[in-house]
Amino acid sequence: MTDKLLVSTRKGLFTVARKGARWEIAGVDFLGDNVTLTLTDRREGRTYAALDHGHFGVKLHRSTANGWEEIPAPAYPPKPEGYEENDMWGRPLNWSTARIWALAAGGADEPGVIWCGTLPGGLFRSTDHGQSWEMLRALWDHPKRRQWMGGGADLPGIHSICVDPRDSKRVWVGVSTGGIWFTADNGANWTLRGDGMRAEYAPPEQTHDPIAQDVHCLVQCPAAPQRMWVQHHNGIFVSSDESRTFTEITGVEPSTFGFAVAVHPREPDTAWFVPEIKDEKRIPREGKLVVTRTRDGGKSFDVLTRGLPQSHAYDVIYRHALALDEAGDRLAFGSTTGGLWVSEDQGDSWSCVTHTLPPIYAVRFA
């Protein structure tokens, strides 16, 4: 069981801890600053925090025995002289980190390795605990990378990174918008995956094109890595063959639209989602905040409401704001309107820690 949560918000990084039977705010770091994501590397106990200072750019901090230290944020290589590339708006694409959108620890056999996904689409790896970063050029230079597009953000980005627990050289990344990419050789070569995903909103020629898929979040079951779940702009998709093919899950009430997904660490058929009215509104249906859970691989879903507001709730849960602990029992999620809820029984019941935090971008068990 994990007794500590790190909650990244528009105005600081909040530590929420279990005291007795209650979860309480225990501290705040970077108060007033925009903290977008954290990673706690369980191999060594270090925590990484990504900040976006707006005018002053994206920064990365690492925990020490005495607090935090700033370490270099991943930086794009020099853009070659004469190289021309425009973003989807026709403006020159700036090769510069616009957001840190994914942080993941490498495998148990490679201490110090950290992966980082960014906007506008660069994937980086550090082998020295974030002290220096190398861009994975094979992915950035892949001709199809230029087909990636912005979704909710102006620029495309990598938001999900899954390192195969059986072989650390095998890595999947999820791109919005750009599908799922896989490497079997530590990033030297990349292939596009995701047959079966469907983008109903796209032109007919692109509806089933794997690169046109707006993957909102990609997760992998640690005990059964062939099982991957996707919360997609178009709905929920599940794969039983390491993302080669997906099956769409339809007919889930109140909705299959959302951003976040969590999968149980040992039960590949068990996953959680936080549904919203689909893309044009992005609010809970009828103002009722619910979590949906399947225990049978998507054949059926429980709609979990106990302890969650059931009237005039307009909370949106971003893709990194739903967390599951390593035991698979405790869940937590935070909302754009500053609500934070915790469950200790796999979502059957929830308690509200607070509803007055700044907008929440990410929730992680520390």
Partner 1 sequence: MAKVIFTPNVQRHVACPEAQAPGDTVREVLNNVFADNVQARSYVLDDQSALRRHMTIFVDGRMIRDRAGLADRVEDTSTIYVFQALSGG
Is residue 28 a contact point for partner 1 (CB under 8 A)? no
Q: Quote the CA–CA distance of 163 and 161 in Å, as a whole number.
A: 7
Using CB under 8 A, which of 4, 43, 46, 79 touches partner 1?
Answer: 79
Q: How far apart are CA 319 and CA 335, in angstroms?
A: 10
Q: What DSSP character marks residue 296?
A: S
CA 314/CA 289 separation, integer angstroms:
8
Closer residue to partner 1 in complex, CB, 55/299: 55
Residues 6 or more apart whose CB falls under 8 angstroms from that of 315 comprise: 284, 289, 309, 335, 336, 337, 339
Check binding of 76 to partner 1 (CB under 8 A). Answer: yes
Q: Contact region for partner 1 (CB under 8 A) — 20-28, 54-62, 202-210, 321-329?
A: 54-62
- Is residue 94 part of the contact set for partner 1 (CB under 8 A)? yes
Contacts for 342 with CB less than 8 Å, ≥ 6 apart: 5, 16, 23, 330, 331, 332, 350, 351, 353
CA gap 269, 15 in Å, rounded: 31
CB-based contact 101:118 (threshold 8 Å): yes
141 binds partner 1 (CB under 8 A): no
Q: Binding to partner 1 by residue 133, rule CB under 8 A?
A: no
* Piece in contact with partner 1 (CB under 8 A), picked from 39-47, 68-76, 181-189, 229-237: 68-76
Binder to partner 1 among 96, 147, 168, 226 (CB under 8 A)?
Answer: 96
The reply to whether 89 sits near partner 1 by the rule CB under 8 A is no
Report the residue from 24, 44, 70, 167 that binds partner 1 according to the rule CB under 8 A: 70
CB of 69 to partner 1, least distance (A): 11
Kindly tell me which residue out of 55, 84, 203, 205 binds partner 1, with binding defined by CB under 8 A.
55
Taking the least distance from each CB to partner 1, the nearer of 27 and 92 is: 92
Of 345, 352, 351, which Cα lies nearest the Cα of 1? 345
57 counts as binding partner 1 under rule CB under 8 A: yes
Nearest CB to partner 1, comparing residues 53 and 137? 53
Residue 11 as a binder of partner 1 (CB under 8 A): the answer is no
Q: How buried is 125 (Cβ within 10 angstroms: 0-12 exposed, 13-18 middle, 19+ buried)?
A: buried
Q: Which of 27, 31, 44, 72 binds partner 1 (CB under 8 A)?
A: 72
Amino acid at 91: R
Entry field: residues in the chain: 366
Determine, following the binding rule CB under 8 A, whether residue 59 of this chain makes contact with partner 1.
Answer: yes
| Nearer Cβ to partner 1 (19/53) | 53
Cα dihedral 350/355/357/359 (nearest 10):
90
CB of 58 to partner 1, least distance (A): 9
- 91 is a site residue for partner 1 (CB under 8 A): no
Please give the Cα distance from 97 to 74 (Å, whole number). 7
| Least distance in angstroms from the C-beta of 79 to partner 1 | 6
Q: Which residues lie near partner 1 (CB under 8 A)? A: 53-57, 59, 70, 72-73, 75-76, 78-79, 94-97
